[in-house]
Structure 1
Amino acid sequence: MNSGGDHGSSSLSDEDWERFLQESEDGVRDAPKEPSARARMVTRRLREEDARPEPWRSHQPPRPRRRTGWYALGLVAALAVVVVALAPGRVPDWFTGDSGAATPLAAETARPTAPPPGEAAARPTLDEPFRGSPAARWASGTAGITLPAARATGWMSRTQVARALERSRDFLAASSLDPGVLRGEHPSEAIALINPHQPKERSFLDRSLSRPSEKYNPLVLFSRFDTLKAELVGDVVKTRGRVTYGEGDKGALRVTTDVTYVYPVMSPEAGDDRVTRVIVRREVVMNWPDPARVITEPGTFSVVSNRVDTTNAGCDTYTGYLTPSFAADLGSGDGAVVDPYDRSTAMDERAEAAGDERCGTATRS
C-alpha cells in the first residue's frame, strides 16, 4: 500500500479535474479578499490614534461665540422699566446723586479730620426725612454711638469698665433718644443714672425741668420737643459719635461722650407737610467714682461737665424745648458760620471760636 502518493502523476480523470477547477473558481469569487499589506498598516495606525490619550495642554478649537449683546441690553432695559414702575420717586435721585439707600458709614472710632462732603441739594420729605443730609449714611439710635474696648482703669477692672461704658450709653439713650422724653415727658430713667449725692446737680435738674431759663437749660442734657409746635417724623433718630474714657480724680473712671443727633420733625398743623431737621451735638463728661472714696449710689455717675450746640432749635429761646423753624431759609443768624455736621473740631474749640456770639449761621441742615 502506498501512504504518500506520487507527485508526478494524477489519479483524476480529465472531466473530474475540469469540474474541480470550476468549483474552486466559483468559491474563490465569493470568498472575502485578504487586505493588502498597505491597507493593514493604515488601519492599524488609525486605531492607534483613536486610542491615544489627549495631552492636557492640547489645543481645542474655540467654540462659536453667541451674539448675546442685544439680549443683555434688552434684559437691562426691561429691569429698568420694572424699577421705575415700582419706585418712581427714586428716579430723580439717580440724577441728583442723593440716595436714601446710600452706603452706611463705618463707625466713628476717632475724631474725623474733615467735615463730611456736601450732598446734592434736596429737601427732606415725609418718606425721606434725611434726604440731602450726611445723616442719611449714619446709623440709627445707639448703633451710631461707638464704644471703645474696655481695659482696667482706675479703681475698675476690665469687666467693670465695660459695664460702666454700657451704662453711659444707656444714659444717652434715655436722655436723647427715648420717645417719651422727645415728646416732652419727664426724663426719669436718665435722672436715675445720675448720682443723687450731688446737691448742685440735683438742684439744676429740678430747676431746669420746672422753670427753664438761660442759666437753667435742660437741653444741655436732654432732647425735648413741644408737641404743639413740632412732631417727630417716624421713629428714627440718626446719630454719630463716640465714647472715650480714662482715669479721673480719686481713681474714678472718667467717661466723655461726644454725639451728634439728627431729629426729623414736621409741623403739627393740619395740612402742613413741611419737614425740617434739628441737629444737636452734645458732650457730656461723667465720673464713675470709687465708692470707697466718694459718696455715691451703685450704678450711678457724677456729672462733671456738659455742652450743647444746636441747629434749627431756636436761638435765644429758653423754653426747655427744641424749637425748630420750618422756613426754607434757616440761615437767619448773624454770628459765626458753622457746619453742624462737622465733627472734626472739638466742642470747646468751636465754642472758643464763636466767642460771645450765640446765634450763628448753619451751612446746611
Structure 2
Amino acid sequence: MGAGTEPDGSSRSDEEWERFLRESVAGTADAPKEPSARARGVAKRLGAEPGPGPEGWRSYTPARPRRRTGWPVAGLLALLVLLVVALVPGRVVDLFAGDDSPPPAARPAEAAQRPTVDEPFRGSPAADWASGAGGITVPKAGAVGWMSAAEVERALASSRDFLIASGLEPGVLRGERPEKAIALINPHQKDVQDLLKTAFQTPGEKNDPLLLFSRFQPSRTRLVGDVVKTRGQLTYREGERGALQVTADVTFVYPVTRADAGGDGEIVRTIVRRELVLSWDNPDKVVTEPGTFSIVSYKYDMTNGGCGAPTGYFTPPFGTDRRAHGAGTEIDPYDRTTPVGRSESSGDECGKATRS
C-alpha cells in the first residue's frame, strides 16, 4: 500500500493529511505510529508556515473564561451617572465646566419658582393668600363702650375701608394723594394733620407718608398686574373714655417691576406689614367728626421696599441694587407671629428677606 493512499486504493487529499497530522499531534488514539513519506512532507511544509494554522478536525480548544466583573461594574456606574444627571443636572454641568465658564443663569428649581408677568406670586407664600380686601378678616360685631353692636359693625367696616383706600387703591399705589383715606381721619387730630400737611411735599423720618399709605413712584416702578395679596385681621376692644379701639394687623404683598421694563423684566415683591390702632371716640368726650376716627399709633415692617432717606415712595431694589439691599439682618416678612417692629421713629436699616 503506497504512501498517501487509503486501504481501498483511494488517495487522501492534502487537507485530509493536514487534519490527520494535527490529530496525531493532539494524540488521537487511532493516529498511525509512523506517518508515510507524503505525510512527513506535508508536516515539514506546515512547520515552515507562519501562524498557528487552521484548527484541527475533531480537535477542541477550551474557551477562555470571560471576566464578568467589567460589564456589571460599568453598567452600574452608567446607571448611577444617569440618575445623578436626572436629579441634579445643574451640579453635573458645574463639574464639567471650567473655572472660566460663566455660572448658569438659574438652576431649574429656582427658575421654576421665579415670578412672571402671568404669575407674579409664583414661588411666594402669598400665592395661596386671598386677593385684595378678601384677605382682611373682620370679626363679628358686639356692643362696646358708647357704641351699639350696629354702630360697632359700621365702625369696623369703615376701618376696613381705610385699609383698602390706603394700601390697595390703584391710584394711591401709583403715587396719588390718598383722599378717601384721609377723609376718614379725625380732622381735629393735630399731630396727624401736621404729618399729612408735610408728608407728601417734604417727606422725612417723622413725616413720611409710608407710615400710613403704600405708594410707588410711577416714573420708577410699576405694579405687575392688578392683584395685591393680603393677610390679616381687625380686632377690637373698649379703649379710653369708652371709645371703640380697633387694631388692624395686615400684611400686603405688592409684585412690582421697573417702570420701563418689558414683559420679561425682573419682578420683585415688596412686602409691607402694618399695624394701626384706631379710636372711634365718643363725640360727647372727644372733639371729632361723625364717621371719623383718631389714630392712636402706627408702625410697619417693610422688606424689598428701599433703604436710605425717605422719599415718600417705596423704592424696590432691582438688579445689582437688590444684592446690596439684601446685605443686612435676615428677616422673614411672612412671619406674623412676631410684633411689628418699625415705628414712627425707625431708622433706615434694611434687612434681607428670607422669603419673598
- Please tell me the TM-score bracket, short chain as reference: 0.5 to 0.7
Deviations 1:47-103 (A, max 9, x none): xxxxxxxxxxxxxxxxxxxxxxxxxxxxxxxxxxxxxxxxxxxxxxxxx9xxxxxxx
Letter of the aligned partner of 2:304 in structure 1?
A: N
Give the match for residue 358 of structure 1.
349
Structure 2 counterpart of 1:339 = 332
Is 1:315 the counterpart of 2:307? The answer is yes
Which amino acid counterpart does residue 278 of structure 1 have in structure 2? T
Q: Is residue 123 from structure 1 mapped to residue 114 from structure 2 by the alignment?
A: yes
1:263 is matched with which residue? 254
Aligned residue pairs, count? 245
TM-score normalised per structure 2: 0.65
Indicate the SS of the match to 1:239: strand
Which ranges in structure 2 are unaligned for 5 or more consecutive residues? 1-86, 88-109
1:247 matches 2:238: yes
How far 1:220 moved relative to its partner?
0.9
SS in 1 for 2:154: helix
Q: Distance in 2 between matches of 1:120 and 1:128?
A: 13
Alignment of 1:138-157 (within 5 A): 138-157=129-148
Name the SS of the counterpart of 1:322 in structure 2: coil
SS in 2 for 1:210: coil
| Unaligned stretches of 5+ residues in structure 1 | 1-95, 97-118
CA–CA distance in structure 2, aligned partners of residues 182 and 357 of structure 1: 21
The alignment-based identity, stated in percent, is 59
Letter in 2 for 1:301: F
- Report if the CA contact (8 A) 2:309-2:348 is conserved: no
Instruction: Report deviation, 1:357.
Output: 7.8
CA contact (8 A) 1:331 1:362 kept: no
Tell me, in whole angstroms, the C-alpha distance in 2 between the residues paired with 1:246 and 1:226: 37
Aligned-residue CA RMSD (Å):
2.3
Alignment map for 1:49-64 (pairs within 5 Å): none
Distance in structure 2 (CA, Å) of the matches to 1:239 and 1:227: 22
Distance 1:138 1:161, change over 3 A: same
Measure how far apart 1:121 and its partner are.
6.6
SS for the counterpart of 2:301 is strand
Q: Using the alignment, how far apart are the partners of 1:262 and 1:185 within structure 2?
A: 19
Does the 8 Å CA contact 1:120/1:132 hold for their aligned counterparts?
no
Task: Quickly say closer, same or farther: Cα 1:351–1:170, change in 2 above 3 A.
Answer: closer
* CA deviations over 1:319-342 (Å, ceiling 9, x no partner): 000111122755734443210011
Correspondence 1:178-327 to 2 at 5 A: 178-271=169-262, 273-327=265-319
The alpha carbon displacement at 1:351 in A equals: 5.3
Deviation at 1:279, TM superposition (A): 0.6
Whether the 8 Å contact between 1:336 and 1:357 is mirrored in structure 2 is no
- 1:248–1:287 CA contact under 8 A, matched in 2: yes
Hey, what's the Cα distance between the residues in 2 that align with 1:330 and 1:187?
32
Cα separation, 1, equivalents of 2:354 and 2:347: 20
> How does the TM-score come out when normalised to structure 1?
0.64
Indicate if the aligned counterparts of 1:335 and 1:357 stay in contact, CA closer than 8 A: no
Counterpart contact for 1:258–1:282, Cα < 8 Å = yes
SS of corresponding position for 2:270 = strand
The SS at the match of 1:207 is: helix
For the residues of structure 1 that align with 2:331 and 2:311, how far apart are their CA atoms?
23
